[in-house]
């Protein structure tokens, strides 16, 4: 939401009885800003394009404003990769409200590292939306707390 000022001429009764401009502030809703992330491990331009088209169609259908799209052919076994660096930088700059992915494995194959990354995005006010519905911020928080409790209990 952002604020927009509109000057409205309004007649007010005062000593001089002059018309005055009065600023009225109102909230103007904006479409959620979304960043699209597509990844394939093997060279497959068709699969990458298919992911991108499906995510773009979902964004359009839900009236999201697409701020950027990262489509990469890179492994999902490590979290240190150029595609995630683009997302991280966009999140740090506050350019998105939602990260849109086909499924959680597009972010990473290591479930705990992926959950930690999704948690980090949540801390930076970015919600991760998976088209297959397999991931929610509430679920990520619960799983991370469970992991921390398990690690704390093992020490």
Question: Which tens digits make up the pLDDT trace of 85-128?
Answer: 999 999 999 999 999 999 888 999 888 898 889 989 999 999 99
Question: Which tens digits make up the pLDDT trace of 138-154?
Answer: 666 667 677 677 777 55
Dihedral Cα 112, 115, 119, 120, nearest 10 deg: 70
Task: Give the model's confidence band at 1: pLDDT under 50 very low, under 70 low, under 90 confident, else very high.
Answer: very low
Residue 151, token pair as written in the block:
């690690």
- Cα–Cα distance between 94 and 146 in angstroms, integer? 29
| Sign of the alpha-carbon dihedral angle for 130, 78, 70, 142 | positive
User: In which element (H, E) is residue 119 found?
Assistant: helix 111-123
Higher per-residue confidence, 44 vs 112: 44
Please, what is the angle between helix 111-123 and helix 137-154, to 10°? Answer: 120
Domain extents for the chain? 33-148
Task: Select 33-148's CATH number: 3.40.190.10, 3.40.50.1390, 3.55.40.20, 3.40.50.10860.
Answer: 3.40.50.1390
pLDDT of residue 155: 42
pLDDT of residue 76: 92
**Pairing of β 127-130 and β 98-101:** parallel
Closest CA to 78 of 50, 39, 46, 48: 39
Is the pLDDT confidence value at 21 over 80? Answer: no
Within the chain, strands assigned E span: 2-11, 19-28, 33-40, 65-73, 98-101, 127-130
pLDDT of residue 125: 94
pLDDT of residue 25: 59
Question: Which tens digits make up the pLDDT trace of 54-95?
Answer: 999 999 999 999 999 999 999 999 999 999 999 999 999 999
């Amino acid at each position: 939401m952002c604020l927009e000022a509109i000057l409205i001429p309004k007649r007010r009764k005062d000593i001089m009885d002059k018309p005055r401009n009065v600023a009225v502030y109102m909230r103007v809703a904006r479409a959620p800003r979304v960043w699209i992330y597509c990844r394939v491990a093997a060279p497959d331009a068709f699969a990458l394009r298919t992911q991108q088209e499906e995510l773009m169609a979902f964004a359009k259908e839900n009236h999201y404003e697409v701020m950027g799209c990262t489509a990469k052919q890179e492994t999902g076994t490590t979290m240190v990769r150029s595609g995630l660096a683009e997302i991280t930088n966009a999140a740090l700059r506050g350019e998105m409200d939602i990260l849109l992915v086909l499924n959680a494995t597009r972010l990473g194959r290591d479930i705990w590292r992926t959950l930690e990354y999704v948690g980090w995005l949540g801390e930076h006010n970015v919600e991760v939306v998976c088209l297959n519905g397999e991931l929610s911020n509430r679920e990520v928080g619960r799983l991370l707390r469970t992991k921390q409790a398990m690690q704390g209990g093992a020490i």
